Amino acid sequence: MTKCIGCKDKEASRLECPTCKKLGIPGSFFCEQECFKKNWGTHKQVHAFMQSLAAANASAVSSGVDAKGIPTSMSGFKWTGPTRPKYPLSATRVVPPHIVRPDYADHPQGECISEARGAHRNRVLNSTEIEAMRKVCRLTREVLDAIAAHIRPGVTSDELDAICHEECIKRDSYPSPLNYRCFPKSVCISVNEVICHGIPDQRPLVEGDIVNLDVSLYHGGFHGDVNATYPVGQVSEEDATLIATTKEATESAIAMCKPGVLYRDIGNKIESIVKPKGYGIVRQYTAHGINQLFHCAPYPVHYGGSKTPGKMEAGQIFTIEPMINGGVASLDHWRDNWTAVTKDGKKSAQFEETILITETGAEVLTRPGSVIKDGRIVDPVKA
């Protein structure tokens, strides 16, 4: 049944919002006139938001690009490596109105008011909340796998973004990155020297690239977060080792998780594995708590020797997501204010999972069925 977008409870009738119809926003059906009236105050914000989006799109699409598709606003930028953006970005993708949206989705500046209010405390979730987190994290993993299946030379990150968007909608989920602090797309795709927060664009992947897909969903009022780095076709041995070591470091840190472990020990563990290889551990971006908020406390760092406070308690949920650079740890940002790149232009890899601490150890929520027991990750046996 298609639900009424007003009460989000009763079945929708053929009563469509006339303004949405005029603006070309699909699927705005209500159950009855009374419900339409009652929800008008909140619903009309959708109109204002969609109109501001259309304006932003028009300016993004019409803003100049050079012969290679590099936006003129970035001309003169000192690129740190070989990778370049390729504009114009595609038009902003629409999430149908029956899908429940996080607060920032309809904020014109993408501001996250809920995070600003309540992100400072380590929270213990109750069993209903934990069940909701299990579900959204399972869906998040499904979407990551669905996108990853399309990685090959020639596919653009914008095409992968379109797949992400569709796969989220199929699962009644909102793609958490979309409009989060004004992020313009539904997934972060970071290629080669891009460390994180790459914006999907028109650049085709080429053989030898490494690509990170960072997928986050909002479903049932909760966020899930997972990412992985993949080789495109055949990659150099050096790059394969960077990916493998980053994966190993992430897995070892996850394997330690249980009640009583210090959050700062995550970084100590990761450093012990990647330091001998001479890699750089990114310091500016950290892991994070995740629940009804996309990002909240704790914020465990991925490098050693930190004073990160707190220890793990049953019912807490957070990510582990080290960004490991083939060279120096320092970074720079492209002039889109999002794309983080390595300062020396060498490649960077990352893996991420969302973890729940339990009485006896932990669960890897983004890998359904995986539990942590006695310092080991026990994955479910595949049928």
- Sign of the torsion formed by the C-alpha atoms of 332, 338, 221 and 364: negative
If binding is defined by CB under 6 A, does position 180 make contact with ligand MF3?
Answer: yes
Task: Tell me whether residue 381 is exposed, middle or buried, using C-beta atoms within 10 angstroms of its C-beta: 0 to 12, 13 to 18, 19 or more.
Answer: exposed
| Residue 194 lies near ligand MF3 (rule: CB under 6 A) | no
Instruction: State the distance between the two ends of the chain, measured CA to CA, in whole angstroms.
Output: 33
Which residues on neighbouring strands pair with residue 214, listed in sequence order? 188, 227
Q: Is 228 or 357 the residue whose CB approaches ligand MF3 more closely? A: 228
Binding to ligand MF3, residues 323-382 (CB under 6 A): 352
Q: For residue 178, give Cα distances in angstroms to 47, 103, 164, 183.
A: 17, 12, 11, 6
Structure tokens at 136: 């959204």
Q: For residues 195 and 357, which CB has a smaller minimum distance to ligand MF3 in the complex?
A: 195
Task: Kindly identify the residues of this chain, within the stretch 237-296, that bind ligand MF3 according to CB under 6 A.
Answer: 288
190 binds Co ion (CB under 5 A): no
Query: Residue 176 interacts with Co ion (CB under 5 A)?
Result: no
> Would you tell me how many other CB atoms lie within 10 Å of the CB of residue 315?
18
- Residue 326 interacting partner from ligand MF3, Co ion, none (CB closer than 5 to 8 Å by kind): none
Q: Rounded to an integer, what distance in angstroms lies between the CA atom of residue 108 and that of residue 49?
A: 6
Q: Which is nearer to ligand MF3, 177 or 361 (CB)?
A: 177
Q: What is the secondary structure of 53-93 as a DSSP string? A: HHHHHHHHHHS-B-TTS-BGGGTT---SSS-----PPPPPP
**Would you count residue 225 as binding Co ion (CB under 5 A)?**
yes
Residue 123: name its binding partner from ligand MF3, Co ion, none (Cβ under 5 to 8 Å by kind).
Answer: none
Nearer to ligand MF3, 209 or 214 (CB): 214
User: Which one, 46 or 188, has the nearer CB to Co ion?
Assistant: 188
Site for ligand MF3 in 207-246 (CB under 6 A): 214, 216, 225
Q: Is the distance from CB of 205 to CB of 153 less than 8 angstroms? A: yes
Closest CA to 139 of 99, 108, 198: 99
Told to check if 87 binds ligand MF3 by CB under 6 A, we report: no
Q: How far is the CB of 352 from Co ion (least distance, A)?
A: 5
Phi, psi of 23 (to 5 degrees): -80, -5
Task: With contacts defined by CB under 6 A, name the span among 112-120, 178-186, 259-267, 323-331 that binds ligand MF3.
Answer: 178-186
Site string for Co ion, 301-330 (x = CB under 5 A): ------------------x-----------
Note the residues at the interface with ligand MF3 (CB under 6 A): 177, 180-181, 183, 188, 197, 214, 216, 225, 288, 321, 352
Q: Contact residues for Co ion (CB under 5 A)?
A: 225, 319
